[in-house]
Structure 1
């Protein structure tokens, strides 16, 4: 144990990396990292070097004995790693722009992790994550895989279903963002708040809220009926809930629920942005350009506050808290994506769910919640069916399975439109979807 830890971060050139570094610095006393390997691909080389140098400056400023390595060689980075974190985007932001723009051109919501865009992000990402797991099996079989890559629920589902690597945890900053939002609403420190999270990634509900161990759910729900409190996450803006609806639902929603319960309003907003050429991908591209200009500054040795505008706020708190709790067997409660094992009665035991778990050195132990409230059960099951079929399509490269996944998604209005969008997106992303094309070319 006292030799120190080796951590490999795949997608190390991400604009989020300074968040992670800040978290490792803050928790160094409980997480003695010896080596941090930042890995990327050739297309991300320039960003990797910029972020890697900032990471080195941050660690030097903190006076910590962590060695930072920058590499394009994934296998060297993985060798004997204790933890592997993944935060990559196959096809970069140009692929995200297509995920948003192609569905919108057909009057269907275009979004990174929901609807057709979420399907295609999964189709591109799952083969890569399975390849990483294959390398881990050879080079660091005992390492924990902490996945932050979206769609995190679908990716976790694929690893659990199509590999025998069970040391995988999916992570999202939305639940911790909700906790922070509740703390802000109540004007208390985050450490005093706990939420019972139940559901799926980007489809999670807070079934109860505690302040110092006492339920304050009724008070929080009343605060959430006010429009200015409707969204806790910066990259998903809504128009506020109908107060009667949120009271009747009697649960905390996550920002992505806006795409389902306010489908028309969100679609109209997105279509307006699309016509102006400013879908979220374009906004993020500009934010990233500005961030990397800041990161280049040789005098910068901290995480710049502008990073929170990127939508990844609290990522380091969530990621490093999780790694530390596994390493130190803390047995605290955190919301993560893990195997269901009976935590939610109406979801198959072998599926990935996002629930509050006790975090141990053996991994997350889900807290059993019984069943979902009847009002949300059907939607959660439908999204889980979508994730399962989409993961199968990603692994098999079967066109019909991909079409089925597209059409059973609740944001796709018909089989005809779904097929048109599928064909157009397959063509647009052909470079990153060899599993759908190689058989036809043999």
Structure 2
């Protein structure tokens, strides 16, 4: 049985231990001969890597492990690049969130001006990683789930159109697990067959059936109409308050189109006034601060504990269930399983009444040759209108990056449904340019 060689690009990420633990949990279906970490922050990566080395030594000593900041060492002799980089780390995320809030606009990691700022930082490094992969392991696949996935996917389509890259997002997976919990399905989301369409963080489920073909939508809709995606709260005590609010708000997002079930991120576009008022109660303490105080602190504390004890026994590292999605994808490519998965792909004619060049999130069949898109057909005017506006934002951001255009980026921010006016967009843009001067191309 083939054993794969993997490099995790973003080796210093707080999500990396969860990916490693999940890989170890699924070695029988996706065997591994080598894991490498790659990051441009050597010190940060070293802490995570030393802890993971101990985990691997104890649980799977047959797997070769290394970590490096050298591209040739990292990207030579690999089958998959699993990329989840965060350019500027949480310090820049904090600015992405807080700068728009100065002007009455919500600050969020992947939506609105904050997502645009993050996208402008991410494009260059993602292209760089693709080039390293193609130089040192030209037959490898890049499985990219670096945010903001919509902008990154549009950039890779335009700048590296022939590259072996598949863009994915695990947000629908998390929502589908909650749907499965609503239904008490024994095998979770894998007991469901879904139809979904949209853009990344901007989509809708139109059909959900069990494996026998029974319609599961009515039961899920009845729950969402009352509770959103909140389900069994006692079993989710670890869920942070901001996420609980997002899951609950799905009730109101659902109400605008009860023919479908919504992605939770639509709340940022359909209720920007609510989000700003709700999240602006303490403008000095945003989601980025919450993450730094909890996940960031906890993961590095767990890593240091493993290193200090020189054992991973009873450690606080846990499998990240969302990471199972990227393993499903790698398995489908390696073993030609023809798995049905949501991917972010060029539309062509999959959504027949939508921009053929748009990067849409739709079900695809994945095998050793890549993927084949499943036709969606025509979509309703409401969703089409929202998607046309948002995909224009994404395209304008990539235009701005490629051409170094201040005008295009101003247009992109102005067109975002989260921003009330062109003048507000300009004020935000000027502040973001100053904050990102070490990361963005020069805009003229």
Give the one of 261, 270, 290 matched to 1:252: 261
Matched with 1:28 is 27
For 2:267, what is the secondary structure of its paired residue? helix
Q: What secondary structure, in the 3-state scheme, does the structure 2 residue paired with 1:432 have? A: coil
Q: Match for 2:332 among 325, 339, 343?
A: 325
Q: In 2 relative to 1, CA 272–68 (structure 1 residues): closer, same or farther, beyond 3 Å?
A: same
Q: Any residues of structure 2 matched to 1:9-408 within 5 Å, and which?
A: 9-41=8-40, 44-188=41-185, 189-190=187-188, 191-212=190-211, 213-227=213-227, 229=229, 236=243, 237-238=245-246, 239-241=248-250, 246=255, 248-274=257-283, 277-287=284-294, 288-298=296-306, 299-301=311-313, 304=316, 313-408=320-415
Q: CA RMSD in A?
A: 2.2
Change in 2 beyond 3 A, CA 1:411/1:240: closer
Q: 2:436 aligns with which of 402, 416, 429?
A: 429
- In structure 2, do the counterparts of structure 1 residues 377 and 164 end up closer, same or farther at CA, with 3 Å as the change threshold? closer
In structure 1, C-alpha distance between the alignment counterparts of 2:417 and 2:376, rounded to whole Å: 25
Moved >6 Å (runs of 4+): none
Cα deviation 1:80-100 (Å, max 9, x = unaligned): 321111111111111000000
Structure 1 stretches lacking a partner, 5+ long: none
CA–CA distance in 2 between the matches of 1:33 and 1:142? 17
Q: CA deviation at 1:362?
A: 1.3
- Check the 8 A contact 1:221/1:247 in 2, yes or no: no
Change over 3 Å in CA distance of 1:352–1:327 after alignment to 2:
same
Q: TM-score, normalised by structure 1?
A: 0.91
- Tell me how far 1:273 sits from its aligned partner: 2.9
CA contact (8 A) 1:18 1:303 kept: no
Paired residues, number? 427
The 3 A distance-change label for structure 1 pair 303 and 157 is farther
Q: Is the 8 A contact 2:98 2:286 kept in 1?
A: yes
CA offsets per residue over residues 265-321 of structure 1, 9 Å max, x none?
Answer: 1110111131xx21000011112012201121123357736x79xxxx533111111
Q: CA deviation at 1:55?
A: 1.8
For the residue of structure 1 that corresponds to 2:197, the secondary structure is strand
Q: Is the 8 Å Cα contact of residues 108 and 412 (structure 1) preserved in structure 2?
A: yes
Secondary structure at 1:272 match in 2: coil
Where 1:357 maps in the other structure, the secondary structure is: strand
Measured in 2, the distance between the counterparts of 1:228 and 1:265 equals 16
Mapped to 2, the partners of 1:92 and 1:302 lie a distance apart of 29
Q: Secondary structure at the match of 1:210?
A: strand
Q: Give the Cα separation in 1 of the matches to 2:371 and 2:29.
A: 19
Deviation at 1:22, TM superposition (A): 1.7
Task: Give ranges in structure 2 of 5+ residues lacking alignment.
Answer: none
Deviation of 1:386 after TM superposition, in Å, equals 0.9
SS at match of 1:138: helix
Secondary structure of the structure 2 residue equivalent to 1:353: strand
Change (3 A) 1:347 1:140: farther
- State the distance in 1 between where 2:120 and 2:109 align: 12
CA contact (8 A) 1:168 1:338 kept: no
Would you say 1:418 and 2:417 are equivalent positions? no
Shift of 1:18: 1.4
Once the two structures are overlaid, the 10-residue window that deviates more, 108-117 or 381-390, is 381-390
How far residue 247 of structure 1 moved from its aligned partner, in angstroms, is: 7.5
Conserved? CA contact 1:393–1:399, under 8 Å: yes
The answer to whether the 8 A contact 1:179-1:194 is kept is: no
Q: Measure, in 2, the Cα distance between the counterparts of 1:289 and 1:278.
A: 16
Q: By how many angstroms is 1:29 displaced? A: 2.2
Offset from partner CA, 1:338-378 (integer Å, 9 cap, x none): 22232212333333211111111111212101022222111
Q: 1:23 to 1:241 in 2, by over 3 A?
A: closer
Give the conservation status (yes or no) of the 8 Å contact 1:159–1:165: no
Distance 1:132 1:347 in 2: 31
Once the 2 structures are TM-superposed, how far is the Cα of residue 326 of structure 1 from its aligned partner?
A: 1.0
The alpha carbon displacement at 1:174 in A equals: 0.8
SS of residue matched to 2:438: helix
